[in-house]
């Protein structure tokens, strides 16, 4: 039995990376992982809840160094909705999670989006409509008004001008961001020790972030995956696509390449949708790849 992950912090030398919960999703595993049918979940039942649904965490990662505070992704926002037969979602806790770390929105200097799916952009402004609905409030501005807002250019171009319900809402997200957004490319340094790693497939401009010690003294690194994987099961079942992957073949290729590179004792992973606990590492294949949970200090 698993549930959405709690707030937790790991240190990479002089950097601290904290998972900030916003909410959760409960998903139909057969619909959202089509390759798992007919009985792929039978060996991974520990990742399903009592109703046979697949719980996911939703939130953001806060990366802090001595003088920087970066948020990676912005959760669902203050919203709850269901997609019959597919999933239920609830968000709303992100600013409370941030406050529990002693920070306000004005303390955030940078927002980085791994991609622009609905569940990663929710706190962009004060308005977070459910997908396929009209915003019923006025947008008064960006939530993190002091921050630079960064995304890969291919990601911005993919969604700009669209009203796809899985993407960024035209009125609540795209229009307010358009005046502020700046673009990132593979290898760019967002802050000392924080670099962009292009991981396309789930969406065209999807990125992950690699966090290393800004002082260079510690060999460890942490990779904030974004949606390269939605659950720990995909460490083992790396060919299982998520139903909303824009390019399923590219998504598998990216995941398998990354998994090979991450089988390394100095590398921690952060999976923002992982239930139970978001940090861990990939153990190299014995018979199959497996997941090792990392308990915070
Ligand atoms: Zn997502």
| Residue 76 CA to ligand 1 centre (angstroms) | 9
| Residue 243 CA to ligand 1 centre (angstroms) | 11
| Residue 264 CA to ligand 1 centre (angstroms) | 25
| Residue 241 CA to ligand 1 centre (angstroms) | 13
Q: What is the pLDDT along the chain (297 residues), one digit of tens a residue?
A: 578 999 999 999 999 999 999 999 999 999 999 988 878 888 899 899 988 999 999 999 999 999 999 999 999 999 999 999 999 999 999 999 999 999 999 999 999 999 999 999 999 999 998 988 888 789 999 999 999 999 999 999 999 999 999 999 999 999 999 999 999 999 999 999 999 999 999 999 999 999 999 998 999 999 999 999 999 999 999 999 999 999 999 999 999 999 988 888 899 999 999 999 999 999 887 767 888 888 887
| Residue 4 CA to ligand 1 centre (angstroms) | 13
| Residue 273 CA to ligand 1 centre (angstroms) | 7
| Residue 272 CA to ligand 1 centre (angstroms) | 8
Residues with a beta carbon under 5 angstroms from ion ligand 1: 119, 227
Q: Assign domain 8-293 to its CATH architecture.
A: 4-Layer Sandwich (3.60)
| Residue 215 CA to ligand 1 centre (angstroms) | 31
The model carries a pTM of 0.94
| Residue 276 CA to ligand 1 centre (angstroms) | 16
| Residue 204 CA to ligand 1 centre (angstroms) | 14
| Residue 146 CA to ligand 1 centre (angstroms) | 25
| Residue 256 CA to ligand 1 centre (angstroms) | 19
* Cα→Cα distances 81→91, 95, 136, Å: 9, 19, 15
| Residue 227 CA to ligand 1 centre (angstroms) | 6
| Residue 117 CA to ligand 1 centre (angstroms) | 6
């Amino acid at each position: 039995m698993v549930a959405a992950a709690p707030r937790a912090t790991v240190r990479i030398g002089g950097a601290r990376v904290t998972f900030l919960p916003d909410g959760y999703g409960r998903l139909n595993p057969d619909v959202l992982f089509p390759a798992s049918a007919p009985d792929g979940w039978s060996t991974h039942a520990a990742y399903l809840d009592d109703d046979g649904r697949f719980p996911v965490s939703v939130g953001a990662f806060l990366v802090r160094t001595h003088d920087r505070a970066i948020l990676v992704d912005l959760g669902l926002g203050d919203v709850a909705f269901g997609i019959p037969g597919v999933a239920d979602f609830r968000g709303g806790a992100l600013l409370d999670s941030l406050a529990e770390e002693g920070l306000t929105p004005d303390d955030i200097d940078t927002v980085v989006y791994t991609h622009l799916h609905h569940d990663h952009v929710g706190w962009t402004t004060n308005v977070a409509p459910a997908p396929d609905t009209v915003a019923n409030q006025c947008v008064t501005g960006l939530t993190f008004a002091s921050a630079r807002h960064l995304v890969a250019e291919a990601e911005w171009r993919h969604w700009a001008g669209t009203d796809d319900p899985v993407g960024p809402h035209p009125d609540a997200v795209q229009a307010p961001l358009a005046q502020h957004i700046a673009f990132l490319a593979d290898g760019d340094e967002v802050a000392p020790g924080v670099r962009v790693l292009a991981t396309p497939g789930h969406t065209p401009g999807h990125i992950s972030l690699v966090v290393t010690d800004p002082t260079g003294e510690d060999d460890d690194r942490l990779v904030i995956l974004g949606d390269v994987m939605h659950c720990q099961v995909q460490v083992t079942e790396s060919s299982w696509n998520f139903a909303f992957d824009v390019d399923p073949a590219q998504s598998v290729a990216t995941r398998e390449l990354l998994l090979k590179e991450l089988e390394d004792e100095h590398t921690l992973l952060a999976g923002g949708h992982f239930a139970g606990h978001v940090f861990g590492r990939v153990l190299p294949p014995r018979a199959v790849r497996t997941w090792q949970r990392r308990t915070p200090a």
